[in-house]
Chain A
Amino acid sequence: MSAVATPARPTASRQASGGMSTKTLNRIVIYGLLTLFALFYLMPLFVMLVTSFKTMDEIQNGNMLSLPKAPTFDPWLKAWGETCVGLTCAGIKGYFWNSIKMVVPAVLISTMLGALNGYVLTKWRFRGATLVFGLMLFACFIPFQSVLLPMATILGSLGRFGVSLQNSVGTSFGLGNSTVNLVFVHVVYGIGFTTLFFRNYYEAFPNELIKAAQVDGASFFQIFRRIMLPNSMPIFVVTVIYQFTNIWNDFLFASAYAGTGDSMPMTVALNNVVNTSTGVVEYNVNMAAAMIAALPTLIVYVVAGRYFVRGLMAGAVKG
């Protein structure tokens, strides 16, 4: 590192084979490039963050990259509690909770189903298991546009059925409720991935343990509960994080099945906030809203980045 001060002797260094300063120069170039790219990746987040703490005055007259002169938390408060989403001006807090109410059950159900499926597909193999898995796996890759319309039709009919149930029995059993619909949709189109994760993980799990338990008379579910589950912690974390990120960030299903009204999830509400054209555009509030929408997944990433990456990889590289 002390050699940094003497990089300006190219001729000398070229003569001395493998000279100290060529190497140093290389290091400087490498670190320089890496830092430059780090700035490229950080820039949008940085701009979003500083803008969300500025007043509108400062935004219009100041520099995008400068730090807020008088940091204010008001844009965040306004985004959370007052800003207009379409015609209602009660902030994005309601939509944030919509997303939570949708994400939690969808993640739990799809992960549990994935664990059971993976267990069956690896430890209770039957003829055609690979085909079944292949069909489920392919479902992960389809463009959802190819199922979007039929699902809308079905959800619409279920909604009408729910209304008639409401009128006759007094409860709709959740039929027609947008949040319930989205949970259902995310479970349906999420089990392919969760099954993939657990299948690849359980594949490496020793069969001898299962055999021994069977000899001891343990049942299907006992083996799952007593032997598989206690040893599945890492893959549970990976799957939950993967599903959480995907479902929280979904926009296509959300806008197709809950695109209007009070039941919008966060992503749709954010898009509406940003594209609301009435009045002065409050960029600081928009950026604060975007930050609020990004925070849950960012926090998960910061806390458990290793598992996040493993999930992404498991979806891409064979396990």
Chain B
Amino acid sequence: MSSVATTQIKLTPERSRPSVRSRLQDALPKIVLAPSFAITIVFVYGFILWTIYLSFTNSKTFPSYVITGSRAYQRLWGWTFDTDPPSSWYTSITNMGIFGFLYIAICLALGLFLAILLDQKIRGEGVLRPIYLYPMALSFIVTGVAWKWFLDPGLGLEQTLHQWGWTSFHFDWIKNKDFVIYTVVIAGVWQASGFIMAMFLAGLRGIDGEIMKAAQIDGATTFQLYRRIVIPLLRPIFLSAFIVLAHLAIKSYDLVVALTSGGPGGSAWLPSNFMYEYTFKRNEMAVGSASAVIMLMTIVAIIVPYLYSELREKPR
């Protein structure tokens, strides 16, 4: 488009006024997009570079801009499991592994299971679906407050079951440094599994009914039908759901704060909590930045291939 305008200018120099205007018209879309793009470049990519830079300095309370090498990374990885309790960073990444794996696996399994149940021509689906999904509208802080109460040994589930006569029931995970991370899994699954259910349900509704009928005529049992035909057809949904959950898991921060306040001795920390604490509270800015860079790299490894394939499929 812009090439058309420039040739016009060369051919008819006497009509320079309208051509300036038409050049402006041609550039207008880019001018409109420019601020957003500039903001993204500066405040996302520029800031990421800034964080990476800081992670190679020895910044403590205030940023320092003298490169001192990879000391922060060495400190992170130089800490060890052997101490008791293990160093905060190892606690954080172990928790990330436990939380990430269980959160993603349970959400996918439960989401698929509920979606299949709901897809059996259920009366009252219109009532059930919103009930499964509403936690997604709540903030992690509210979720954390609610579950903190619910899981509190003195007030919640344990106390209730004691009152009902099951006095040997014991459930104090939220106060136990070895199990507190599993309570984060419970609350996290509660919040996100309904949404994953909705994704699978949309996928199930998109499957051609003819295929199902054909398989049934061939004598496939319901179980075979789902295992061999339906679930393989849902593969793209599995991928999308995995991406959503992985990225939610790595970003999880608020839930740990609200539910456990970090757990006894920081035993519920995820890398996001580690980063916040070290950067803003323990005055170890370089170490905090290094942990942020590691989080970012993890996300990049998951998201970039996904986005690349998504955007490439529709070239135009």
Residues of A whose CB lies within 8 Å of any CB of B are: 30-31, 33-34, 37-38, 40-45, 47-48, 51, 59, 63-65, 113, 116-117, 120-121, 124-126, 130, 132-139, 141-151, 153, 188-189, 191-192, 195, 219-221, 245, 248-252, 256, 267, 270-271, 274-275, 283, 286-287, 290, 293-294, 297-298, 300-302, 305, 308-309, 312-313, 315-318
Decide yes or no whether B217 CB sits under 8 A from chain A. no
| CA A23 to CA B272, docked complex, whole Å | 49
CB-CB nearest 7 A-B residue pairs? A249-B139, A124-B29, A301-B137, A251-B254, A147-B47, A44-B146, A150-B47
Q: Within 8 Å CB of B44, what residues of A? A: 138-139, 142, 147, 188-189
| CA A249 to CA B251, docked complex, whole Å | 14
**Chain B residues with a Cβ closer than 8 Å to the other chain, count:** 98
Q: Within 8 Å CB of B237, what residues of A? A: 317
The reply to whether B257 and A297 form a contact with Cβ atoms under 8 Å apart is no
> How far, in Å, is B290 (CB) from chain A's closest CB?
11
With A63-B160, A64-B160, A270-B142 already in contact, the answer to whether A41 and B280 are too (CB < 8 A) is no
Q: Within 8 Å CB of B11, what residues of A? A: none
The reply to whether B155 and A64 form a contact with Cβ atoms under 8 Å apart is yes
> How far, in Å, is A67 (CB) from chain B's closest CB?
14
Residues of B whose CB lies within 8 Å of any CB of A are: 1, 25, 28-30, 32-33, 35-37, 39-41, 43-48, 50-51, 54, 63, 114, 117-118, 120, 122, 128, 130-143, 145-150, 155-157, 159-160, 163, 190, 194-195, 198-199, 202, 237, 240-241, 243-244, 247, 250-251, 253-254, 257-258, 261, 271-272, 275-276, 279-280, 285, 288-289, 291-293, 295-296, 299, 303-304, 307-308, 310-311, 313, 315-316
> How far, in Å, is A174 (CB) from chain B's closest CB?
17
Known: A34-B128, A134-B307, A150-B50. 17 other contacts (CB 8 A): A30-B117, A33-B117, A34-B117, A44-B147, A51-B149, A64-B157, A116-B33, A145-B272, A145-B292, A146-B295, A148-B275, A149-B289, A195-B36, A221-B28, A251-B254, A252-B254, A312-B136
The reply to whether A294 and B138 form a contact with Cβ atoms under 8 Å apart is yes
Q: Within 8 Å CB of B280, what residues of A? A: 256
The reply to whether A143 and B250 form a contact with Cβ atoms under 8 Å apart is yes
Partner of B133, one of A45, A251, A271, A309: A309
Q: Within 8 Å CB of A44, what residues of B? A: 143, 146-147, 150, 190
Partner of A41, one of B142, B155, B194: B194
With A65-B160, A126-B30 already in contact, the answer to whether A293 and B51 are too (CB < 8 A) is no
The reply to whether A41 and B25 form a contact with Cβ atoms under 8 Å apart is no
Interface centre among B44, B148, B250, B289 (most CB of A within 10 A): B44
The reply to whether B293 and A146 form a contact with Cβ atoms under 8 Å apart is yes
| CA A65 to CA B149, docked complex, whole Å | 12
A268 to B, closest residue via Cβ: B141
The reply to whether B25 and A305 form a contact with Cβ atoms under 8 Å apart is no
Q: Within 8 Å CB of A274, what residues of B? A: 145, 148, 258
> How far, in Å, is A200 (CB) from chain B's closest CB?
10
The reply to whether B30 and A134 form a contact with Cβ atoms under 8 Å apart is no
Partner of B279, one of A64, A148, A316: A148
A312 to B, closest residue via Cβ: B195
> How far, in Å, is A135 (CB) from chain B's closest CB?
6
Partner of B134, one of A135, A143, A188, A301: A301
11 A–B contacts from the bound complex (CB under 8 Å) = A43-B150, A47-B149, A120-B29, A142-B299, A143-B272, A145-B296, A149-B63, A188-B44, A294-B138, A300-B137, A309-B133
The reply to whether A41 and B190 form a contact with Cβ atoms under 8 Å apart is yes
The reply to whether B33 and A132 form a contact with Cβ atoms under 8 Å apart is yes
| CA A134 to CA B37, docked complex, whole Å | 11
Interface centre among A64, A145, A275 (most CB of B within 10 A): A145
Partner of B198, one of A149, A245, A312: A312
With A37-B114, A294-B142 already in contact, the answer to whether A148 and B135 are too (CB < 8 A) is no
> How far, in Å, is A196 (CB) from chain B's closest CB?
11
